[in-house]
Structure 1
Amino acid sequence: MDVGKVEEVGWEHLVKMGEDLTFLSFRVMDTKGRVHILEITLDETYPRCPPSVSAHVDKLQNFWSTLDDIDRSFWVTDPKHSHYAMSYRQIKLGNDCSIILSINANDPLSLPECRFLGSDTTVNFLRDTWKRNCKRWAKDKSFPENLARVFDTQLPQPPHVQKNEEQVECGICYAQYLPIDDELGAKSGSATDYTCENGNCNRAFHCVCLGDWLRSITTTRQSFDVLFGNCPYCSDPIAVKISTKT
């Protein structure tokens, strides 16, 4: 990919680029305001057959929305933090048992493949319940509603307690520390310093990264040295103070 094509996409969206320009990763935002890192490897068919990033993003909207619905509604134990690149969710069922659900990215509201973890007695009971009631699954229902229909009960919700384990990687640049750079001033090499206040999100960010991202969003408002917008992951309101580079 030549430099001109990168300029068309926008240098501010470029995360990484290989020396031979055949590998690139971009930060993109979907229609729900969620941020994703897309990696592109160009083969010999380029530029005759250029990759269609927007087509892939549009195709996965329902899949990502289903993951959001699961993360908001249930006690997800793995992955520990919301991650759109992973198509599975491990959900706590109670009695030291869990279910691992594999969500179909192409048909996210279809009946998922599943695996149960726990004691043999409880797992056998849950597996029998699943086999008996899976015919109740309806693709016109939400994922949480379907799970409640299959198990004949509401599953445990996310715990409303402060997590002891803090997320340290920035949800935008995916690094724990900012690079050592004179242009960053006092922020050079600093760790994440902002956490979303939504208890079901708790994504951590560098204020520098979050500020840059908010500036790229047309709906962001600014009052003096504070930017007002929405979290890239849960869409809850956030306010970030713009730091001076000293």
Structure 2
Amino acid sequence: MNEAQDLESFLIELIDTLEAILSSKSARGDPAKSVTYWSCIIEELDALGWHRIAHITQDLSQVQIDLCDAFERKHLLIVQFPPGYPTVPLKLEPLLVPETESELHLLEHGYMTGVLTASQESGLQFAVTQAEKLLDQFQEFWNVMEDIDEKTWVIDPEKPTRTDRMRRCALDPLSPRSIPETRMFGPTASIEPMRTKLFQNAGLWDRTKLPRENLEVLLELPDGFPTPTSVTKDEMNIECGICYSFRFEGQVPDQLCSHTKCQQPFHRVCLYEVTRM
């Protein structure tokens, strides 16, 4: 409209543009969408609030919705509107949440792969509400894991995501403050005293405290765990005795030589390759 010299030239340009769009869709074989499709989507987005829309495709077929949990963590819900919507249910991509041992329990309540399965009767607002309820289940779990990430040196995984349950020990996402199953790695002379302390002090575990705080008490670490501010990355990295690197194919050395005078760490895959030669 800004470039058109007059109304007539604007209308001509508009008609040409619309014909080009329709011709392109016809060539691609895109299914026709009814007026109900467009009006229904617009009404649902109006009701949800456009300020919550992070991104929307030009044809309104996919919408990315910002979700914010109780602790101000940002999440993204991706919704796809099929051509037959609202007769055909909308499609929801899984949320980034950890897998739980009670997956079957979630399925019984309508959950599938991290989000509620949409039905023909459920619209956009219903899907958003169910996604927010799903996120609420993992607030305490993410609090625990963020505390570990911020106040310890996490060796593995290198770049944790909200779906990762592992930081050297596994935590139940639905009961993250319970005592975790731990696996200590290192020379026997160093590890055995720590295992003894962990066993003897197990009764001191306090569910009101974060797991990191409890482990520091059980292992009798007055200065706490090593952190990026107290220990350098080179000091934390242990090289594999075969490939002479710390991380190989995304894995860290997790196998130790059984000889007490050696205790050299190795990647499992490196040991496998050596045995094949």
Q: TM-score, normalised by structure 1?
A: 0.48
Ranked by relative contact order (alpha carbons within 8 Å, sequence separation 6 or more), the top structure is: 1
* Structure with greater Cα Rg: 2
> Which structure's residues are more often helix, by fraction?
2
> Which structure's residues are more often strand, by fraction?
1
